[in-house]
């Protein structure tokens, strides 16, 4: 199976399928009528599937947002950052102590954002280096923490945190566990209930292949109880649009407090149905197969990967440029080869590129994209060994 046309291999936004695009172009409906509630029910049910939560009905008036595991899903009209802000702003009081270990840009954003709403201690590790679990354990053992908040899959550096291990620590020390799962949910194993996670965030445009500008959170009952208690104590952070209390009040009715992102919700519901057709574990496995192929291929070609070996992400691979290459390579790749990958961020800008293996990317597109990347490196006089790209996937 060969791939013609563009190769779009960025770690989100990813390509949307025709069902999603068609849904996005549906003529306007009202925000409060039964048609939108039907959409919300489908979306809620699909979100529960993507979050790896217990199933719910996809029919309106059936509590589609909740399930036997006690988690509820809440859709946020805004990108992943808005959903993360809803979590941090509502769950904490200004004095709550929250530990945020990081090894990339998005973890650092969790720390930076968290500092607006609570008392954050930022354990900053080098981008791509695994967390020092001994140091985290030591910190947690000192007590007095309200939560540990992490970016689960660090898209900027291609590293996935060992969430099971961190969850175990959180449970042992009685602290809440909060995850930015923006590029993990739907793309690699996430187990909110098993991990006792209080909140997990996802953005539509990443592993679930939905549109940009809409996101969701999954929260457990303890999270909800804490938000309500903090509000009742009059100790909450200022929020209005992202206030979780009105969202909780509307959830049972398959509604949102403000005019929702109606068409994006339709598109996302369609994309989540595609995810269900593929099967969650099948998607995790396809993303893993693609990422493993990319890693092995580029290592054999002599490139260096940014992330520590045992923690490499299966939805995004961060690869360092060889000596003499910068983002001119990406420009040429886009213009001459109709192939897009993404560059490095902040201090790694111009020093690396990242290949996404998330969403619905078929293996044929990854193979073709990798062949074009190799050709483009050769255009820049980079001497690479001959390889059989297909054999890596
Ligand atoms: C892990 C992670 N967290 C947060 C974000 C920010 O999400 P958004 O741009 O949807 O607000 C991104 C975006 O790339 C991400 O990859």
* Beta pairing class for 352-356 and 316-320: antiparallel
Using one digit for the tens of pLDDT, what is the confidence trace for 274-330? 999 999 999 999 999 999 999 999 999 999 999 999 999 999 999 999 999 999 999
Residue 200 has pLDDT above 90, yes or no: yes
> Is omega for the bond preceding 351 within 30 degrees of 0, making it cis?
no
Atom of ligand 1 nearest to the CA of 81: 11
Residue 1 has pLDDT above 80, yes or no: no
Structure tokens at 77: 């009209």
What is the average pLDDT across 91-114? Answer: 98
What is the average pLDDT across 19-31? Answer: 97
φ, ψ for residue 45 (rounded to 5)?
Answer: -65, -40
In 3D space, the residue among 268, 267, 286 whose CA is nearest the CA of residue 278 turns out to be: 286
**In CATH, what class is 18-277?**
alpha beta
Which residue's CA is the nearest one to ligand 1's atom 16? 155
Task: List helix spans (H) across 59-152.
Answer: 80-91, 105-114, 133-141
Structure tokens at 93: 């009081």
| Domain extent listing, the chain | 7-13+279-392, 18-277
Task: List helix spans (H) across 233-324.
Answer: 244-251, 262-278, 280-300
Structure tokens at 227: 């938000």
Residue-by-residue DSSP string for 325-341: --THHHHHHHHHH-EE-
Residue 232 has pLDDT above 90, yes or no: yes
The verdict on the CB of residue 182 being under 6 Å from ligand 1 is: yes
Q: What's the pLDDT score for residue 106?
A: 98
Helix, strand or coil for residue 193?
helix
Q: What's the pLDDT score for residue 75?
A: 98
The verdict on the CB of residue 325 being under 6 Å from ligand 1 is: no
Question: What is the 358 CA–ligand 1 centroid distance (Å)?
Answer: 14
CA–CA distance, 383 with 223 (Å, rounded to integer): 54
**By the 8 A CB rule, do 42 and 57 touch?**
no
What is the average pLDDT across 147-154? Answer: 98
Q: What's the pLDDT score for residue 359?
A: 98
The verdict on the CB of residue 80 being under 6 Å from ligand 1 is: yes
DSSP state for residue 150 in the 8-state scheme:
E
Give, for 120, the enclosing helix (H) or strand (E).
strand 119-124
The verdict on the CB of residue 151 being under 6 Å from ligand 1 is: yes
Percent pLDDT > 90 in the chain is: 99
Helix axis angle for 80-91 and 221-232, nearest 10°, is 60
Residue 332 has pLDDT above 90, yes or no: yes
State the architecture of 7-13+279-392 in CATH terms: Alpha-Beta Complex (3.90)
For ligand 1, mutation pick of 105, 203, 359 (most atoms within 8 Å of CB): 203
CA–CA distance, 162 with 20 (Å, rounded to integer): 32
Percent pLDDT > 70 in the chain is: 100
Using one digit for the tens of pLDDT, what is the confidence trace for 117-148? 999 999 999 999 999 999 999 999 998 999 99
Q: What's the pLDDT score for residue 2?
A: 87
Q: What's the pLDDT score for residue 252?
A: 95
Question: What is the 349 CA–ligand 1 centroid distance (Å)?
Answer: 17
Mark residue 222 as left, alpha or beta (left: phi above 0; alpha: psi -120 to 50; beta: remaining): alpha
């Amino acid at each position: 199976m060969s791939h013609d046309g563009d190769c779009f291999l960025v770690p989100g936004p990813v390509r949307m399928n025709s069902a999603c695009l068609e849904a996005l172009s549906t003529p306007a409906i009202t925000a409060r009528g039964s048609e939108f509630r039907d959409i919300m029910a489908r979306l809620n049910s699909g979100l529960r599937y993507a979050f790896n939560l217990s199933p719910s009905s996809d029919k309106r008036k059936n509590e589609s947002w909740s399930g036997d595991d006690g988690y509820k899903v809440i859709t946020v009209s805004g990108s992943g950052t808005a959903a993360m802000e809803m979590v941090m702003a509502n769950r904490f009081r200004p004095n709550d102590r929250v530990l945020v270990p990081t090894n990339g840009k998005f973890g650092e954003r969790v720390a930076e954002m968290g500092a607006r709403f609570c008392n954050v201690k930022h354990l900053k590790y080098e981008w791509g280096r695994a967390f020092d679990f001994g140091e985290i354990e030591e910190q947690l053992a000192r007590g007095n923490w309200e939560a540990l908040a992490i970016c689960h899959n660090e898209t900027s550096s291609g590293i996935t945190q060992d969430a099971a291990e961190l969850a175990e620590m959180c449970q042992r020390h009685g602290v809440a566990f909060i995850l930015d799962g923006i590029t993990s949910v739907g793309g690699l194993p996430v187990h909110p209930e098993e991990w006792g996670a209080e909140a997990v965030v996802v953005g539509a445009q990443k592993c679930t292949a939905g549109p940009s500008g809409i996101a969701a959170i999954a929260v457990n009952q303890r999270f909800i109880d804490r938000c309500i208690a903090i509000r009742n104590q009059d100790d909450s952070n200022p929020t209005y649009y992202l206030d979780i209390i009105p969202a909780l009040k509307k959830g049972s009715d398959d509604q949102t407090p403000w005019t929702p992102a109606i068409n994006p919700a339709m598109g996302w519901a369609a994309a989540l149905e595609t995810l269900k057709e593929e099967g969650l574990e099948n998607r995790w496995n396809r993303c893993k197969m693609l990422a493993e192929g990319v890693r092995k291929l580029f290592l054999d070609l002599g490139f260096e990967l940014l992330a520590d070996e045992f923690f490499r992400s299966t939805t995004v691979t961060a690869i360092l440029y060889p000596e003499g290459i910068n983002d001119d390579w990406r420009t040429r790749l886009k213009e001459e080869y109709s192939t897009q990958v993404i560059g490095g961020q902040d201090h790694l800008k111009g020093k690396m590129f990242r290949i996404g293996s998330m969403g619905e990317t078929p293996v044929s597109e990854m193979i073709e994209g990798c062949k074009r990347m190799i050709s483009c490196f050769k255009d820049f006089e980079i001497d690479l060994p001959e390889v059989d790209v297909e054999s890596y996937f």
